[in-house]
Amino acid sequence: MMLKNRLARYFVRIPTIETERLILRRILPKDCENMYDYSKREEVTRYLLWIPHESREYTRRYIDALQTQYRSGQFYDWALELKENGRMIGTCGFAAIDEKNNSAEVGYVLAPDYWGFGYAPEALREILRVGFETLGFNRIEARYMTGNEKSRRVMEKCGMKFEGIRREALYVKDSYRSIGYCSMLKDEFFSLYGRHEVKNEPKPHWYDAFVGGVNKK
């Protein structure tokens, strides 16, 4: 089966993943208030490509649009829900997938009240696991704007290796930004974390049974 179909099938019903302190799950309309609460903040978006959300209504429309993208298997981010209080405190997932080269880019955002507790690395490790074990990527990269060194630290805490900086590679919000790159290769992941049984494998879609298994591997 083409990677594209397998990926879409995985993300159409993006699985819930549990870590020690977090539940990674689909972003839902009920997350609007929590997402708006951090997405409206300049300190959150300073090193991101987007500007702060202008209103709750904007966040609501954004989450609605995500539901459509999930349905077509073309959105790859999880909500991060804190087990201890049920609050949605950010997102983490794949920002882009490069099917031709069997690689992906990861990204994450957290609400400021929850910075400094290691939640981003805790989520990122599981996303790397999904990427290498379940989706079979060969390479996963992450990039950050220079100045955002704690984001680089998150990448390195997960075992990603710093590759270098592309100087003033992006023009974002009226200025040229230099972009740092970190990456991890499949074999590096397995030698660091071990190879576990594949989990979070999506169940076959009802349509596959309906068409008599035509879409099966």
| Binding region for ligand COA (CB under 6 A) | 44, 47-48, 107-110, 115-121, 144, 148-151, 153-154, 157
Closer residue to ligand COA (CB): 73 or 111: 111
Token pair, residue 74, equals 């073309």
Helix (H, G, I), strand (E, B) or coil at 90: strand
Q: Give the CA distances from residue 114 to residues 9, 96, 184, 200, 204, in Å, rounded to whole numbers and listed in that order.
A: 32, 25, 26, 26, 36
At its nearest, how many Å lie between ligand COA and the CB of residue 211?
41
At its nearest, how many Å lie between ligand COA and the CB of residue 111?
8
Closer residue to ligand COA (CB): 163 or 201: 163
At its nearest, how many Å lie between ligand COA and the CB of residue 82?
12
What are the backbone dihedrals phi and psi of residue 24, each rounded to the nearest 5 degrees, phi first? -95, 125
Q: What is d(CA 71, CA 141) in angstroms, rounded to the nearest whole number?
A: 25
**30 DSSP 8-state letter:** G
Closer residue to ligand COA (CB): 10 or 75: 75
Q: What is d(CA 75, CA 69) in angstroms, rounded to the nearest whole number?
A: 5
At its nearest, how many Å lie between ligand COA and the CB of residue 2?
30
At its nearest, how many Å lie between ligand COA and the CB of residue 142?
7
Closer residue to ligand COA (CB): 73 or 107: 107
Query: Which ranges in the chain belong to alpha helices (H)?
Result: 3-12, 32-39, 42-45, 56-71, 119-129, 149-157, 186-193, 206-210
Q: Token match 């930004």: residue? A: 177
Closer residue to ligand COA (CB): 10 or 78: 78
Amino acid at position 30, single letter: K
Nearest to 107 by CA among 81, 79, 131, 77: 77
At its nearest, how many Å lie between ligand COA and the CB of residue 186?
22
Closer residue to ligand COA (CB): 10 or 154: 154
